[in-house]
Structure 1
Amino acid sequence: MSSSQRSESSHAFFKRYISSKNSLMDFIIRFNKALRHQRHNELVADHVDMNERPKLQSKWPMESQMVTVYTKKKWLEFQEEMSQSHGYYVQTESVGNEFGIYKVMNFQASSSSKPRVLTHVIQGDDILCSCMKFQFEGIPCRHMLAFFRINQVFHLPDKYILKRWTQAAKIVEFFPTDEQNVVEAPERCLMSRHLRLSYKASALVDIASLTVEGTNFLNAQFDYIGNKMKDLNMTTTVSGRSQCRRATDRAIDIVDPQKIRTKGCGKRLKSSKEKATTQGRKCRGCRRRGVQHDKRNCPNLQDGYVFITNVLTTGFDKGYYFIKLNMCDGTQ
């Protein structure tokens, strides 16, 4: 039920910005907009927790204790449970060496209403209520608070204070730096230092951005620290730069490569068909190239001449020759 509720709450949040009809680009823009609004609301809530103090309804020390521990939203829920706890009384059912059973009932409850059952584990000093509000929402229920008030428990035990509802929930260090592992895993140590500094810088930015004075002060401090870090990096890298220069002086000079002919340059290769087209048209009758006729309208064939391919007589010079034949039937 808890995991389903978390997913449904996230779905309800993103449905205010995203729909199934959005394109991929619209989805990215709307998703980033939703995250910006969520982070802005978180900064506003941090500002309220730091600068506003809710009013107390009673003089019970537990109320004064939790008003400085819980966030304002969770404190209002706890205050409502505390005010409702005054309308309940506790009745002892059985007390043994290990467990104590109690019934918590409302003064104005009807006969049909069922009382809540509290189980007190004496060995671990744990309180379990049948309403299961603490297991579900993470804050003590009105029945547990009524039991604490009757037994004169003035301060809420730490086991019933969940850190995720407190104002110090974001104050945590994720990767502690272990200087002994620098030689074995230098990348891990570098990442750890980077994460630790990033978290501290992010926490300072969240606090300073709440006010104009804090923003101007932190901006000036960043400029001062930036100049100091530049001077520190310059002094630590002098030896490294000198070694690089000496290595550069001993290195072989690299000259430009020789000019070579790249693939595809020069004249374009032509196909046989293209070459035939550029050389001119060839007549199949007179075997001449570059003429404007073909075998069907060749003038030499129309005049009755026959093209001779091979001339074996030594009296002829090399070239093309045509002869005119006279047939017995009178045709040429």
Structure 2
Amino acid sequence: MIEKHASKIYTHTVFYEFQEQVQMAPCSCAVVGFSEQGNMHIINVEDAYRKHRVFQVAHNNESKETTCTCKMFERKGILCKHIIWIISGKGLQSIPEQYIESRWTKKSYRKPLYGLDGKLLQDYDPTDLRKLELSRVWSEFYATISVLNSMPDNRIKELSLMLLQFREKINPTKESLTKDQELEMLLGCSAKSNITVLPPKIAKNKGSGMRMKSNKDKAIEKASKPKRLCNNCKQMGHHDKRNCPNPFVEHALEEEDEEENEMEDEDEEEE
């Protein structure tokens, strides 16, 4: 019976999840302890599907509130199998009202749906009668326009004259509505007089708040560094052997040294 009650109030997805808890309750739950603390009844329930872990279900006789240490209702808004096992043993055939979350019920998302004739296609719980009547008026208006498309022009003029006469009847002073008033009437709500615009949140991504260096800044920073001796070109500068602007200087110096050594060897042989 508790499943039948859940099928009437819950959506399909939530009902299947609740039904799973109901089906697991008699198979996995077993009462292993009971104690009383004033108006509270403490029942120890062993769960075979969770490595025989013991959960405490507390039931208040006065407020009829039941809580479980697994905290499933607090997390998901659905009764756990431990509480279902206890309340089913007490003969309850429906879910108590305090354990029915409105966001999981069928009525929480039900909205009016109209056809071209302006009639409701399904039942629903009306929350704003003014919006309901405005929706019906717009449905009737568009349905009438669609019918007039296949009729002579004199019928369209007749409708225009009827609308003009009705407007003069409800507004004899002929005060025209402003654009804001027309939007308020269309939306069914009034605009706020004071609107507070808050500053946007500052992004703190990687590298934010850092200014990119220009070529001039890079040149000034490079000139401020002390010079060092390059092992390749044997000159003082802001480079070394790895990024030397003259990569072939070292080979040229080696060739000159070799030529000088050869010339010295030839002179020695001539002597």
TM range (shorter): 0.3 to 0.5
TM-score, normalization by structure 1: 0.37
Q: Which has the larger radius of gyration?
A: 1
TM-score, normalization by structure 2: 0.45
